[in-house]
Amino acid sequence: EDQVTQSPEALRLQEGESSSLNCSYTVSGLRGLFWYRQDPGKGPEFLFTLYSAGEEKEKERLKATLTKKESFLHITAPKPEDSATYLCAGAPGGGYNKLIFGAGTRLAVHP
Amino acid sequence: GAGVSQTPSNKVTEKGKYVELRCDPISGHTALYWYRQSLGQGPEFLIYFQGTGAADDSGLPNDRFFAVRPEGSVSTLKIQRTERGDSAVYLCASSFTGRNNKAGELFFGEGSRLTVL
């Protein structure tokens, strides 16, 4: 069964304290690995797509990496506005129409 | 509007009642998706439309759930004989065609929060 597991469930950081979020996946014929950000009361917002092991993508203070079994979202020198839930999702082989989401990591960055 | 629009934003209903949730996708997006998100969980796939047709409805939990997209734009998710376990946020998303590598880049609406008493 396709599954995506994220850890930790929650993470509290001080402003400027770098850390990483983990996404472990078992998704048959993975076509792509996606990261989304979700603010309270809002829908998820697309961040990155990774297609193959070794690939990296960056955006401001965020960098996503992918191996054959897991993905990491590295947050460098976070700011309070980076506080959100970060969701990881895998697209199984056969198309991108059904994303398998993890439960997310709730990140809180305190000044 | 520029984004995916969902109405109502909140719906409170009684067990056994019928509910309709509406989604207006981004203009030009041919693919439309419905997901359901329970508290503390990630979104769970329900159904995917390519144009007017439901290309994959494997995520619909049972036959009380049905969705339509008659003109290839606006979609309605319909829930009959609602149960307390149906309470969740129902998210709609749209994207460019579901067949290329942009398809996983979903644009989500803010969701419709359904509460069944």
Residues B59-75: pLDDT tens digits? Answer: 999 999 999 999 989 99
Task: Using CB atoms, pick whichever of A43, A87, A101 lies closest to residue B109.
Answer: A43
Distance from CA of B62 to the nearest CA of A (A): 18
First to last CA, chain A: 41
CB contact under 8 A, B42 and A96: no
What span, in angstroms and rounded, lies between the C-alpha atoms of B29 and B12? 30
Closest-CA residue of chain A to B113: A41
pLDDT for A41-94, tens place per residue?
999 999 999 999 999 999 999 999 999 999 999 999 999 999 999 999 999 987
Q: What is the tens place of the pLDDT at every residue in B74-94?
A: 999 999 999 999 999 999 999
Task: Return the residue in A46, A88, A96 with the most chain B beta carbons within 10 A, the one to mutate for interface testing.
Answer: A96
Contacts of A27 (CB under 8 A, 6+ apart): A2, A3, A4, A90, A91, A92, A100
Q: Do B103 and A97 touch (CB under 8 A)?
A: yes
* A47, closest residue in chain B (CA to CA): B105
Q: Kindly calculate the radius of gyration of chain A based on its CA atoms and give it in whole angstroms.
A: 13
All residues of chain A having their beta carbon less than 8 Å from the beta carbon of residue B50 are 97
CA-wise closest residue to A86 among A98, A99, A97, A102: A102
Contact B106 A101 (CB under 8 A): no
| pLDDT, chain B, mean | 93
Mutate to test the interface with A, among B10, B38, B45 (most CBs of A within 10 A): B45
Q: What is the pLDDT of residues B86-117, one digit of tens each?
A: 999 999 999 987 555 566 789 999 999 999 99
Residues B37, B44 contacting (CB under 8 angstroms): yes
